[in-house]
């Protein structure tokens, strides 16, 4: 079910995530509550260790909170069933990472196709969709290239193509410009803004406040695992 | 994720790391190959035994003997013609015929050799046990001067042209020890020594009981010596010229019940009329039976060492055996022996299979090692798949499919390797048999059940080996995996 623009798409309530790698306890997120409306372009900014990526992983359903809940389209995400989270990642969410996370022995086309293996898209349709998405992102001539044969900007475009090929409602981008030069960083940010204009809700994690101000519609600041109120920022 | 997608990704991963996959699959190939080759030896022998039993109808053949271990220490009942009639009357017995054998001196292809000949009624030759004539036919009557030779007999003469044999002649000779000559020797005194000992007797000595007993013992011993000397030295010779009418294939499983030469039953009686063969084995056997068909008898009261029963295949053997025992005889059932042989082969196959399994376990460790390495190396890939929507069971299945693909491919190639090894082994063994002049037989058999077991084992072992690495891959934390640089 698609959430209409302006309606709450994601609602995080009192989210906490505590890691216990040893005797010490690391509180990565501490009672974060956040609402993201459908069609928004939200930037999560903060210094390293502020909990941006942790929050993103929780919204993606890659990680589970120690406390709190995330509702997506009004439905709770953490119900205890791992299948629910896998379906969430497969059908509703697309993810983009700083280090691209492309599979190096698969071509650009095969990397994008991979996102459609888990939502029962027929094989013939997979190839068609993946090809069309790469074409749209200006990589029509690079379909059969391996990631190693592509530039950083191109690799990130492939990663974005992979994230949006299944037409997710929410695109979560974790420092997508972190490994790129300034020109490529702006190109990628611009691409994200275009996708947002096409109706995809975008959450961009960045430590680059300027970039966030330039492209995002709303900025959410995190500091030591807590959201800093807008009036305090 | 569909099964086809899983297989496609799994195969893509395996073909990407060709050398590692090749080495891992090679381990399985060698293990399954060894397993198949070893078990094919057991299966080949089992198959040969079974074929022999079935071909010669041994499963429907029973041998009957005098029972030397009867309860209450009763003496063994004689296995004579009246016993033969009783055995013939047992329900399920189609034919009962005795082993009436004699040792002959044969003159064939300008070579003189000793051979055992068995007298059979023509009806016995029509049973399955004697049904495999390679050339020629059966006797014309139960008293004809004819003989059926076995390929075992011909091999001793290095005779290969058995197709031309029917119609050719075989001269046989028996030398018989007779009662006439034995008794004549007891009462003869050619050198006068008996007369001298009688003359030397003194009346006063004969009054002593001890002297009398000693004298009787001495004379009885000397008389026995003269009896045996007469029996063995003064023999009657019987010569017969027999026409070879057929060549019979020998069954290899057991030589009991099949001698080298088969002659009509009347011919054996003619060859032994009035005495017993001087062959030590025949002589001992006859003397130990206590009933000797000496001169003066017509041969109607002959005792046999063994009677063969040809059974109705539709009847179970056990009630027939029980009936034979109830008559006071001992019985040997080939069907029972075959059952024991099959049990033996189960253990034999288990022993061979265990050795093969050791190799398979080693191969399984290779598979496990490969998959553990893959789990570590593809940690980020696992995280990516999870981020794209793969469930933990998808990841587990992916690794299990890779493991199964290694096992299946290895098992398939292993079966081919095992078959090849068994063919080479068979060729070498048959070459040796041929050089040794032995019957050439097939020692190996890659049966359909062996192929299925090998394939199933290859698959099962690979799945077991892959389960732990697959579970470990499924438990990879995607956040950690994607964070790793």
- A71 within a domain of the structure (yes/no): no
- A115 within a domain of the structure (yes/no): yes
- B248 within a domain of the structure (yes/no): yes
Same domain, B22 and B171: no
- A161 within a domain of the structure (yes/no): yes
- B60 within a domain of the structure (yes/no): no
- A148 within a domain of the structure (yes/no): yes
Q: CB A90 to CB B478 under 8 A? A: no
Total domains in chain A come to 1
From the list B4, B388, B485, which residue is nearest A114 (CB)? Answer: B388
Same domain, B234 and B308: yes
Q: Which of B302, B332, B362 is the last residue of a domain?
A: B332
> DSSP code of B79?
-
Chain A environment of B388 (Cβ under 8 Å): 89-90, 114-115, 117-118, 162
Q: Are residues A164 and A92 in contact, defined by beta-carbon separation less than 8 angstroms?
A: no
Same domain, B297 and B357: no
The parent domain of residue A167 ranges over 40-61+81-228
ipTM: 0.93
Q: Which of B307, B332, B357 is the last residue of a domain?
A: B332
Same domain, B241 and B367: no
- Give the torsion sign (CA, A46, A151, A93, B484): negative
From the list B381, B387, B392, which residue is nearest A62 (CB)? Answer: B387
- First-to-last CA distance in chain A? 35
Same domain, B163 and B280: yes
| Burial class of residue B326, CB neighbours in 10 A (0-12, 13-18, 19+) | exposed
Q: What is the H or E stretch that residue B434 is in? A: helix B392-436
Range B451-464 average pLDDT: 94
Same domain, B19 and B143: no
Task: Enumerate residues 6+ apart whose C-beta is below 8 A from B34.
Answer: B355, B356, B359, B418
Is the entire prediction scored with pTM above 0.95? no
Same domain, B344 and B285: no
Q: Indicate if the pLDDT at residue B248 is higher than 60.
A: yes
What is the dihedral angle through the alpha carbons of B161, B163, B167, B168, rounded to the nearest 10 degrees?
10
Nearest-angstrom CA–CA distance, B394 and B404: 15
Which CATH number fits the domain that encloses residue A223?
3.40.50.300
**HSE of A21 in the Cβ direction (CA atoms, 13 Å)?**
4
Q: Indicate if the pLDDT at residue B297 is higher than 50.
A: no
- A14 within a domain of the structure (yes/no): no
- B62 within a domain of the structure (yes/no): no
What is the band of B380 on the pLDDT scale with cuts at 50, 70, 90? very high
Range B252-281 average pLDDT: 73
- A144 within a domain of the structure (yes/no): yes
Phi, psi dihedrals of residue B11, rounded to the nearest 5°: -65, -35
**HSE of B253 in the Cβ direction (CA atoms, 13 Å)?**
23
Least confident interval from A77-81, A214-218, B415-419 = A77-81
β-strand partners of B309: B62, B96
Same domain, B326 and B343: no
- Vertex A45: Cα angle to A40 and A50 (nearest 5): 130
Least confident interval from A205-209, B111-115, B152-156 = B152-156
The parent domain of residue B43 ranges over 3-55+339-483
Nearest-angstrom CA–CA distance, B259 and A97: 89
Q: pLDDT tens across A95-142, in order? A: 999 889 999 999 999 999 999 998 888 888 999 999 999 998 989 899
Nearest-angstrom CA–CA distance, A68 and A17: 9
- B320 within a domain of the structure (yes/no): yes
Nearest to B249 by CA among B84, B55, B420, B383: B55
Q: 3-state DSSP helix/strand/coil percent for chain A, to nearest 5?
A: 35, 25, 40
- A207 within a domain of the structure (yes/no): yes
Chain B environment of A60 (Cβ under 8 Å): 387
Task: Enumerate residues 6+ apart whose C-beta is below 8 A from B271.
Answer: B102, B104, B117, B172, B174, B238, B240, B263
- B244 within a domain of the structure (yes/no): yes
The β-bridge relationship of strands A170-174 and A201-206 is: parallel
Residue to test with chain B: of A21, A62, A168, most B Cβ within 10 A: A62
Nearest-angstrom CA–CA distance, B304 and B295: 18
Task: Enumerate residues 6+ apart whose C-beta is below 8 A from B206.
Answer: B212
Same domain, B102 and B207: yes
Token pair for B345 = 């082969």
Q: Indicate if the pLDDT at residue B128 is higher than 90.
A: no
Nearest-angstrom CA–CA distance, B308 and B57: 12
Token pair for A15 = 């989210």
Task: Enumerate residues 6+ apart whose C-beta is below 8 A from B185.
Answer: B226, B227, B229, B230, B231, B233, B234
From the list B1, B381, B478, which residue is nearest A118 (CB)? Answer: B1
Same domain, B13 and B75: no
Total domains in chain B come to 2
Q: Which of B286, B315, B332 is the last residue of a domain?
A: B332
- B156 within a domain of the structure (yes/no): yes
From the list B2, B9, B387, which residue is nearest A95 (CB)? Answer: B387
Same domain, B95 and B49: no
Nearest-angstrom CA–CA distance, A1 and A12: 19
Higher-scoring residue by pLDDT: B52, A188: A188
Q: Indicate if the pLDDT at residue B89 is higher than 50.
A: yes
Average pLDDT, chain B: 84
Same domain, B314 and B433: no
Chain A environment of B2 (Cβ under 8 Å): 120
- A34 within a domain of the structure (yes/no): no
Chain B environment of A101 (Cβ under 8 Å): 380, 383-384, 387, 482
């Amino acid at each position: 079910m698609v959430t209409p623009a302006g309606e709450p798409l994601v609602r995080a309530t009192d989210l906490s995530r505590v890691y216990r790698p040893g005797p010490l306890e690391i509180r990565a997120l501490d009672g974060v509550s956040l609402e993201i409306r459908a069609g928004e372009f939200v930037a999560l900014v903060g210094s390293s260790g502020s909990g941006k990526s942790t929050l993103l992983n929780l919204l993606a359903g890659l990680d589970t909170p120690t406390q709190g809940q995330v509702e997506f389209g009004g439905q709770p995400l953490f119900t205890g069933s791992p299948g629910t989270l896998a379906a969430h990642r497969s059908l509703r969410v697309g993810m983009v990472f700083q280090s691209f996370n492309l599979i190096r022995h698969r071509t650009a086309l095969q990397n994008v196709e991979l996102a459609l293996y888990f939502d029962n898209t027929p094989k013939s349709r997979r190839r068609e969709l993946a090809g069309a998405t790469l074409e749209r992102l200006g990589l029509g001539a690079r379909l059969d290239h391996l990631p190693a044969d592509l530039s950083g900007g191109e690799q990130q475009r492939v990663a974005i193509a992979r994230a949006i090929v299944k037409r997710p409602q929410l695109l979560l981008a974790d420092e997508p410009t972190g490994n790129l030069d300034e020109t490529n960083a702006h190109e990628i940010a611009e691409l994200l803004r275009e996708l947002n204009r096409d109706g995809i809700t975008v959450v961009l994690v960045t430590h680059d406040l300027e970039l966030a101000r330039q492209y995002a519609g709303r900025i959410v600041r995190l500091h030591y695992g807590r959201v800093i109120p807008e009036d305090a920022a | 994720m569909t099964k086809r997608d899983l297989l496609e990704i799994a195969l893509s991963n395996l073909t990407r790391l060709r050398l590692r996959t090749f080495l891992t699959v090679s381990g399985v190939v060698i293990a399954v190959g060894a397993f198949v080759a070893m078990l094919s030896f057991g299966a080949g022998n089992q198959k040969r035994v079974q074929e022999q039993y079935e071909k010669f109808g041994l499963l429907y053949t029973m041998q009957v003997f005098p029972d030397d271990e009867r309860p209450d220490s009763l003496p063994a009942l004689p296995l004579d013609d009246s016993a033969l009639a009783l055995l013939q009357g047992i329900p399920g017995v189609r034919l009962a015929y005795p082993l009436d054998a004699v040792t002959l001196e044969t003159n064939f292809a300008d070579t003189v050799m000793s051979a055992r000949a068995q007298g059979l009624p023509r009806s016995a030759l029509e049973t399955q046990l004697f049904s495999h004539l390679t050339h020629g036919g059966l006797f014309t009557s139960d008293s004809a001067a004819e003989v059926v030779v076995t390929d075992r007999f011909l091999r001793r003469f290095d005779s290969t042209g058995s197709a031309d044999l029917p119609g050719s002649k075989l001269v046989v000779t028996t030398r018989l020890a007779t009662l006439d000559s034995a008794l004549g020797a007891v009462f003869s005194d050619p050198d006068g020594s008996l007369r001298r000992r009688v003359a030397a007797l003194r009346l006063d000595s004969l009054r002593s009981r001890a002297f009398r007993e000693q004298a009787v013992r001495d004379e009885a011993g000397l008389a026995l010596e003269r009896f045996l000397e007469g029996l063995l030295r003064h023999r009657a010779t019987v010569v017969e010229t027999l026409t070879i009418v057929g060549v019979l294939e020998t069954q290899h499983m057991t030589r009991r019940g099949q001698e080298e030469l088969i002659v009509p039953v009347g011919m054996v009686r003619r060859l032994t009329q009035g005495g017993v063969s001087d062959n030590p084995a025949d002589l001992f056997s006859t003397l130990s039976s206590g009933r000797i068909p000496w001169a003066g008898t017509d041969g109607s009261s002959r005792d046999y060492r063994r009677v063969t029963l040809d059974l109705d295949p539709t009847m179970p053997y056990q009630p027939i055996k029980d009936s034979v025992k109830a008559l006071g005889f001992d019985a040997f059932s080939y069907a029972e022996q075959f059952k024991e042989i099959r049990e033996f082969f189960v253990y034999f196959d288990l022993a061979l299979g265990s050795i093969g399994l050791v190799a398979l376990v080693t191969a399984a460790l290779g598979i496990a090692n490969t998959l553990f390495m893959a789990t570590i190396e593809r940690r980020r890939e696992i995280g990516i798949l999870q981020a794209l929507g793969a469930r933990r069971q998808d990841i587990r299945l992916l690794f299990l499919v890779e493991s199964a693909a290694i096992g299946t491919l290895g098992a398939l190639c292993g079966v081919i390797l095992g078959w090849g090894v068994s063919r080479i082994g068979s060729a070498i063994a048959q070459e040796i048999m041929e050089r040794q002049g032995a019957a050439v037989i097939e020692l190996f058999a890659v049966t359909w059940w062996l192929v299925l077991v090998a394939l199933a084992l290859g698959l099962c072992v690979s799945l077991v080996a892959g389960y732990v690495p697959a579970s470990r891959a499924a438990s990879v934390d995607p956040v950690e995996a994607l964070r790793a640089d």
